[in-house]
Amino acid sequence: MRLVFFLLLPLTLLAQQPDVNAIMAKVAANQDRAQARRAAFIYSQKVWVRSFKTNGKLGCQQKTEYLVTPTEKATGKTIVSVDIECGNSGKSHINCEAELPPDKGKETVSGIDGCLVQELRNDLVSDKDSKDGLDQELFPLTAKELLKYTFHLDGEDTVRGHVVYRISFVPKKGGDDPSSWQGEALIDKAEYEPVVVTTKLAEKIPLAVRVLLGTNIHGLGFNVVYDKFDDGLWFPVSYGAEFRVRVIFFWARNLSVSLSNSDFRKASVTSAIQFAPVR
């Protein structure tokens, strides 16, 4: 009998191991529902984008506060305040416009650094097709993105007071729409909701590009933290990224992006938009 027990033990343990694809399918279903429910909330979003030269001096930074009003199919953002600070880059023929609060119009930003932080802000935290502004392709949690990845259950842990599954993911090989990201998702074991998701580039910039064009991106990755609110809705509350870019051999910058969401409140037909004073 003991021999039979030990022979069957691996099969018993395997049967008790939860199926990672079933876990992620539940997460995707929850996220798809959450995307729709987030349309009922108004909240404050603060975004801070910075570029630093290789000697550590500030290239440019932009602090922006939004009032976010998600709609059924998109994310509406109104700028409440903008604070732009750029180092001395001398004369520049490169200019771009930075959006200001509605009553302030636009401001011209000069230099590569100023335009770079402006474009980063728009590209990384202003996805109009998402209910929170985050680029959905970076985080494989919806049913659509789920199909691009292979998942592996790495165990369980306790993080920020939640018992979580640790699930790593990598892009599926081949396919018509492959992903460039790999990483780890910490999933609440009881509610099948994300607690923390971390991503990084799955592949390096091709050697030919690095050698011939002198262009490389090092350390590119993103981290998003979710929290649960009183009505049971989980929402991304913070987002961050730090990475280094080198272009055409001689130009390099260290870049950082951070975002925080707060002051959540349910929208109503009588809600009025009020703008805080510029700080």
What's the CA gap between 139 and 134, in Å, rounded? 9
The answer to whether residue 207 scores a pLDDT higher than 50 is no
More confident residue, 73 or 59: 59
The answer to whether residue 185 scores a pLDDT higher than 80 is yes
Q: What is the pLDDT of residues 100-144, one digit of tens each?
A: 787 777 777 778 888 888 888 877 776 666 656 666 666 778 888
What's the CA gap between 81 and 62, in Å, rounded? 10
- In a domain, residue 67? The reply is yes
What's the CA gap between 216 and 86, in Å, rounded? 24
pLDDT at position 130 is: 64
More confident residue, 275 or 238: 238
Other beta carbons within 10 angstroms of residue 277's beta carbon come to 7
More confident residue, 213 or 171: 171
What's the CA gap between 94 and 71, in Å, rounded? 35
What's the CA gap between 148 and 175, in Å, rounded? 8
- In a domain, residue 59? The reply is yes
Mean pLDDT along residues 92-97: 68
- In a domain, residue 273? The reply is no
Q: What is the Cα 213 distance to its own chain's centre? A: 28
- In a domain, residue 145? The reply is yes
Mean pLDDT along residues 260-268: 84
Q: Is 26 exposed, middle or buried (0-12, 13-18, 19+ CB in 10 A)?
A: middle
What's the CA gap between 17 and 11, in Å, rounded? 10
- DSSP E strands in the chain: the ranges are 41-52, 58-70, 75-86, 95-99, 106-110, 149-159, 162-171, 181-188, 194-201, 216-218, 221-228, 234-247, 251-266
Total structural domains in the chain?
1
In 3-state terms, the chain is what percent helix, strand and coil (to 5)?
Answer: 25, 45, 30
- In a domain, residue 272? The reply is no
- In a domain, residue 1? The reply is no
- In a domain, residue 242? The reply is yes
Q: Report yes or no: 27 and 151 within 8 Å, Cβ to Cβ.
A: no
Domain range spanning residue 251? 18-266
- In a domain, residue 243? The reply is yes
